[in-house]
Amino acid sequence: MSGMINYTRIVDLTLPLVPGQGGRPLRIERGRTEELTPHPPVEHPWYIMHRVSTISHIGTHIEAPYHCVETGRDLAGIPVEQLVGEAVVLDLSTLPPDTLVGAAELEPVIAAAGGIKQGDIALLRTGFAGRQDTPEYAHRPSLTAAAMLALVERGVKLVGTDLAGLEGPLTPATSTATWPSSNTTSPSSRTSRTSPASAGRASSSVPCRSRCRASTLSRYASWRSSRGLRTED
């Protein structure tokens, strides 16, 4: 069948969600079905459901342009084919702490991974996945807009990361490079095939997040306009 992938290995990259852990709200309430829903009482000793209260930006998840761009696509507008495919792991774990990763820094990493081809999924391994609750996490790598643009121009269709976001404390609030938000979301070899989910959190060295958001929107619009694309594409 056309479009099918012969999986050689499936890798589960998801992290467990535990109520009370992490910085995002998550509440799970267990009760009988008739207590949680307008369901008629059932004469059964164990007929339960769970009410889950949380936010969409938690744990391992997929990010759509709508997260940062009002007119961008939401998850319903992203075809599942864009979320499944052949992945290449870009290992940034050997970079020194506080590295600001630009296009130049990515080049040797891409070469070491065997290169990137059109339609690849790029998974960025930083080694900071288990350090989110430690002082070391403040020294995680940060990606520039130029680095992301380099991935887009190589044909990457999805980016995943073991960080809470592709941006970090060193990511500039403004940049001369244009911003390829439409192709980004937020761990080995090319033979690994997986369906990654990425998490991202907008952060910056400047205290005002709105300034970073406004700068991102401006770069996003400029990038799409320069290619004759509509913002919602």
pLDDT of residue 49: 92
What does the domain layout of the chain look like in residue ranges? Answer: 19-55, 65-226
CATH hierarchy code of domain 65-226? 3.50.30
pLDDT of 163 > 50? The answer is yes
**Complete DSSP assignment for the chain:** -TT----S-----PPPP-TT-SSS-EEEEEEEHHHHSSPPP---S--EEEEEEE-SSSSS----GGGT-TTS--GGGS-GGGGSEEEEEEE-TTSPTT-EE-HHHHHHHHHHTT---TTPEEEEE-S-GGGTTSGGGGG--EE-HHHHHHHHHTT--EEEESSS-S--TTS-SS-SS---GGG------TT-EE----------SSS-HHHHHHHHHHHHHHHHHHTT--TT-
| Beta-carbon-side half-sphere exposure of residue 165 (alpha carbons within 13 Å) | 18
Summarised one tens digit per residue, pLDDT across range 73-93 is 999 999 998 988 889 999 999
Q: Is the pTM of this model over 0.85?
A: no
pLDDT of residue 4: 66
Summarised one tens digit per residue, pLDDT across range 13-68 is 788 889 988 778 999 999 998 888 888 888 888 889 999 999 988 888 888 888 88
Q: Which of 107, 194, 96 is nearest to 139 (CA)?
A: 96
Of residues 95 and 188, more confidently modeled: 95
